[in-house]
Amino acid sequence: MKGQLLNDPVFGMAAGQFDRVADFLNLDQSVRERCKWPKRILTFSLPVHMDDGRTEVFFGYRVQHHLSRGPVKGGLRFHPNVNVGEVAALAMWMNWKCSLMGLPYGGGKGGITCDPSKLSTAEQEKLTRRFAQEITPFIGPEIDVMAPDVGTNAQHMAWILDTYSTHLGRFVPEIVTGKPIELQGSEGRIQATGHGVSFLATRALNKLGLPVQGATAIVQGYGNVGSYAVETMSAYGMKVQGVSDITGAIWNRNGLDAEKLRAHVAQTGGVAGFESAESIDPNEMLLRECDVLVPAALERVITENNAPHLRCKILAEAANGPTTQPADTIIEKRGDIFLIPDILCNAGGVTVSYFEWVQNLQRFHWTKTEVLTKLETKLEKAFESLLAFCDQHKCGTRLGALATGIKNVARVKKTRGLFP
């Protein structure tokens, strides 16, 4: 299994990052091994009756990286390229992210190999409920709490909640987060990740002595995270000049109208054809000059091929693992790009998921203002702590963020000991 995981490029990248940090922290061999490898790797076959009468078998995965600090937390994604290596890597990163943010969670991640765009709503419901039924013995509010991810949303969480609650014979809202408000979801959850990305971008601009008002930004990816990042940065007075998604890339040097862009995407299904912008090459867009570049789609989009040519002042990693290790090395050596690493930059989602879980456990509801204010407070604290760590240890923000997260997990592992 170790060899299979290491052969996956995404897990190999995550493991390489861990090894570098473990060397930096001088972790002893026992703690190092226990921190690196996931506690559980679950694989399920998921037969579904399709609308045309066929029965199709899908495959789903759930990786629980560690439960040493509390239940695992992480999203469930639907994507045609999902595999166990990718899911294991994302679970590992989630572990360090929760630790960095001071959340009482370990890292988890799930995925089903499918193309949701080719499944009807009924087929998606059957697939989601089948996955929930299969995984029920391995999850619970104190064991594993899921949330939406790529290709899933609040409705998928509602189906999981209902399936799990039906199995237990009682309503259990704290089994998932990112669910609809009427099922005790949290105010502010849907925009939490994008809001956090934008908030941290303003803090990075302040750190560099650059004005927020009029700062330019490019956003690669216009899903939940990217769309709310565009809107929040625009609300801060920044000019979002370029945006891309699977349909193409658009550009307006004077800044895109965030409200009109959302309406256009809702009507057409993508950013392509937006009348207030010109069409450009998505790869070329990443290389245009800007203050803030936000990769907000999938992994490994900043590579050794484009990293030398980036012309941003701040790289805000809204996606998980968007920068490959060779590209990371190039950016660090360049020294002219301030990196907000993914495990901090996109931590808004899991932080507000934690707030939602707490509200559910208490059967108490917070306002949107309360939620986003608490989120900004936690992000501000984590950002300042990261800067202090990097200044003390004379290291980059990637190494600093990972070292902080891994160090906390390693300390818990060592204190709890090894049983038996």
How many CA atoms are closer than 13 Å to the CA of 2, on its beta-carbon side?
5
Asked if 214 and 369 touch (Cβ cutoff 8 Å), the reply is: no
Asked if 46 and 113 touch (Cβ cutoff 8 Å), the reply is: no
Question: Which positions ≥6 away from 168 have C-beta within 8 Å?
Answer: none
Q: How far apart are CA 350 and CA 50, in angstroms?
A: 33
User: Of these residues, 73, 109, 378, 413, which one is catalytic?
Assistant: 109
Burial category of 271 from C-beta neighbours within 10 Å (exposed 0-12, middle 13-18, buried 19 and up): buried
Q: Verify whether residue 207 is a known catalytic residue.
A: no
> What sign does the dihedral 64-352-80-44 (CA atoms) show?
positive
What number of other Cβ atoms are within 10 A of residue 256's Cβ? Answer: 24
For 316-340, give the DSSP string.
Answer: E--SSS-B-HHHHHHHHHH--SEEE
Q: Which residues are catalytic?
A: 109
